[in-house]
Amino acid sequence: MRTVLVTGATGFVGTEVCRLLLEHGRQVRAALRSARELPAGVDPVLVGNIGPDTVWSPALTGVDAVVHLAARLQVMRGTARDPLVEFRRVNTAGTKRLAAEAAKAGVRRLVCISTVKVNGEATTGRAFTEDDGPAPEDPYGVSKHEAELALQRVAAGTGIEVVVVRPPLVYGAGVGGNLHRILRAIHAGLPLPFGAVDNRRSLVGVSNLADLIRVCLEHPAAAGQTFLVSDARDLATSELVRLLADGLGRPARLWSVPMPLIRVLGACLGRRAEVERLCGSLQVSAEKAWRVLGWQAPVPIEEGLRRTAERFARSAGR
């Protein structure tokens, strides 16, 4: 395999995937919505917006495999009466179109990055596995589940090899969302109310996810499979805060606030979903990736979080 087309190449995960593939001697082509700066060695091709009518042929010429990372993650307020329609247009119909066009162009394998949200939003005492039935709860998760089903149909009708990877929360240098807010709070010396939180969350470092994607592009046994992925060690939110604080060289100012009170405060502030993501449990088993592919996360979670925190400290001005 020589030439790999990457969608979402300028994103948080896509940048790392491009870097790793170049490092392993692959030719990398990036499908872009608009002109963007890319890492040296990545060949840009403009495809415009991703949807059911995207013209993929210029990007797919001479391509051996595709990594599909691009997705709609949210619908901006006021842009859609039914958010699911917008998610389906990009994540479901857009993915199906790409797979069908890739098969027509002779692409051998397509690795699609889905989400653990296909499995569900929370676990209670047992980690999700690939054998669990789908239980998506929000429009994004529903659209990604439907994209997986569409890929199965395209693969059955054309013979293209499809691999699906479902990551949990991805962290690394430049991470946004809740992890970025936690880093900012620790760096500012603010107290965090998670000292009594006894949950378990699976995470995956961006470099570890990129490494599994690389393996899924190449390993013969990956064809037709779905893989959950994690760094193998699950953390309580309080432990996550302590590890990030160590990497920042700052104290972890954790207050032991009862969970019911945290949930009430989150609801009052309109942040119920964020509170659940920080305080609830969501565990995944990456055992199948080890059993089928011989893959284990190359960077331990302690090291990955330390690198993330140190990079944040440098950008924030320690």
- More confident site: 232 or 163: 163
Mean pLDDT along residues 70-91 = 78
pLDDT over 70 (residue 317): no
Mean pLDDT along residues 104-113 = 96
Mean pLDDT estimate for the chain:
91
Mean pLDDT along residues 192-205 = 91
Mean pLDDT along residues 76-92 = 78
* Ranges assigned E (strand) in 167-252: 169-171, 203-205, 226-228
pLDDT at 79: 54
pLDDT at 82: 80
- Pairing type for strands 3-7 and 65-68 reads parallel
Q: Token digits for 27?
A: 């030719």
Q: Name the percent of the chain lying above pLDDT 90.
A: 73
Give φ, ψ of 106 to 5 degrees: 85, 15
Split at pLDDT 50, 70, 90, the class of 298 is very high
Distances (CA, A) of 264 to 161, 185, 253, 257: 47, 21, 21, 11
pLDDT over 90 (residue 200): yes
What SS3 class is residue 27? Answer: strand
Split at pLDDT 50, 70, 90, the class of 78 is very low
Cβ–Cβ under 8 Å, residues 63 and 29: yes
- More confident site: 39 or 110: 110
pLDDT over 80 (residue 274): no
Mean pLDDT along residues 67-93 = 81
Q: How many residues does the chain have?
A: 318
Mean pLDDT along residues 133-162 = 95
**Which of the residues are catalytic?**
140
Q: How far apart are CA 236 and CA 279, in angstroms?
A: 8
pLDDT at 197: 87
